[in-house]
Amino acid sequence: MTDSSAAPAMSAANTASMTTLTGASDANPRHPRHFPALDGLRGIAILMVLVHQLGMLDDRSTILNYLFGYAIGTGWAGVQLFFVLSGFLITGILLDTQKSTNYFSGFYARRTLRIFPLYYGALALAFIVLPAFGIVSSGVEKDWNQQIWLWTYLVNWVEPVGIGSHTFPHFWSLAVEEQFYLLWPLLLALPIYRASVAACIRLCVMVAVISLAARFIFAWNGDGRDEIYLLTICRIDALVIGAAFAALMRMPELPNVWRRIVAKPTQSLIAGFSVAIVGVLVTHGFSFENFLGETIGFTLLALAFGLVIMAAACADLRSIDGVFQLLRLAPLRSLGKYSYAMYVFHKPLHDLLGRPLLVKLRVDMAHSLLAELLYIAGSVVVLHALALLSYHLFEKHFLNLKRFFIAKPASHPPRTVSREM
């Protein structure tokens, strides 16, 4: 399996009626809202990814070791959570600004300002700046002739044929998201989807079915595991499932069953966990080693996350505490706020500094749970500090330019999620 630690581009904050996964609000500023619980979910997602990528424990001789080993193995689900979050938030923005006069220019400009500076800054540092000083890592040397796929956000399409990146293997999911960001606004601008939220939901279902069918085809052939994990066509159902939940929350007339779920977020949360349990049982723990895990496993996981995301968003809208208050804890929200840079930095930091340091100190990560926990905790602290510096010293200067691309007032009020649901 190709490196599975990748995560989508992640946000600094989520403000306004709905916000993108990778940044502050794109929605109409007349409807300011904040969803702190979604920041918390993002924080959980980055922790899942880091445990999966940084975990090296092989010893399963004790219960604790076995449980932590299972967490390492299933941490890839953090990627799926990011995808669903992205679809949910991006689609909310697009639906809320469909009638705005700068629908395209506003959206694409704001996405560019949030995502491109850090992404291309990392590539420029690795392939231009450091080589100019004679510093070329072994990964960069291997990537030199294939770097075009990174610069064009197409690396996820070539990794299955062995042309992936050794320096930034985790950038495949950023490619998936960027392709979604490019095409989804175009589809939602079509007259049928501008006129009907229900039509948008039907589009989401159709795309999800196509994505599931693509995974069935690859799995049936028996040799497409990397394709299933990496190709956009095989992973886009997570994004459009998140999109469907965003559209559902904006339907003028919610079906009765959904109205009750939205009115009581705890029911949505329970439904999400129930779907996840069904998925665990059906796919043997969302394993890639069986046909159902490679196919419907992704879909069930996306549905589970979609229900949890909707529950968290509705809880924020209705100021409901309880279990949702855990998602609003300051440390978790801070991880979510700076998770984009943490994600960009984690793999190079691990490969270039973490692993060599562990070897030098002769730390046996494969058999020591304590060493594993200390290393991951230390890595999270370091990554968070670096991400905070990156945000305030570099990214923030570009983000300040987003004020020039706020959605302009539309002829009709934007669709928003009602607090009366």
Q: CA 330, CA 321: separation in Å to the nearest integer?
A: 15
Q: In whole numbers, what is the pLDDT of the chain averaged over residues?
A: 88
pLDDT less than 70: residues of the chain: 1-33, 252-262, 410-421
Q: What angle do CA 176, 182, 186 make, to 5 degrees?
A: 135
Q: What angle do CA 294, 90, 160 make, to 5 degrees?
A: 35
Query: Where are the alpha helices (H) located in 57-147, listed in sequence order?
Result: 63-74, 77-96, 103-124, 130-132, 138-143
pLDDT of residue 251: 80
Q: CA 215, CA 301: separation in Å to the nearest integer?
A: 14
- Identify whether the C-beta of residue 208 lies closer than 8 Å to the C-beta of residue 241: yes
- Identify whether the C-beta of residue 12 lies closer than 8 Å to the C-beta of residue 340: yes
- The angle that helices 36-54 and 63-74 make with each other, rounded to 10 degrees, is 110
pLDDT of residue 395: 97
Contacts of 106 by beta carbon, 8 Å cutoff, 6+ apart: 26, 97, 100, 405, 406, 407, 408
Task: Of 230, 162, 282, give the one whose Cα is nearest residue 4.
Answer: 230
How distant is the alpha carbon of residue 10 from its chain centre?
A: 6
Contacts of 129 by beta carbon, 8 Å cutoff, 6+ apart: none
Q: CA 391, CA 179: separation in Å to the nearest integer?
A: 24
pLDDT of residue 255: 63
pLDDT of residue 410: 58
Q: Note the maximum CA span of the chain.
A: 66
Q: CA 220, CA 25: separation in Å to the nearest integer?
A: 42
Q: Is the dihedral of CA 356, 361, 364, 365 positive or negative?
A: negative
> Which two three-digit tokens encode residue 189?
């601008």
Contacts of 349 by beta carbon, 8 Å cutoff, 6+ apart: 379, 382, 383, 386
Task: Of 7, 26, 154, give the one whose Cα is nearest residue 84.
Answer: 7
pLDDT of residue 287: 87
> Which two three-digit tokens encode residue 255?
């079906």
Q: CA 2, CA 170: separation in Å to the nearest integer?
A: 9
Residue type at 221? N
pLDDT of residue 110: 96
pLDDT of residue 224: 78
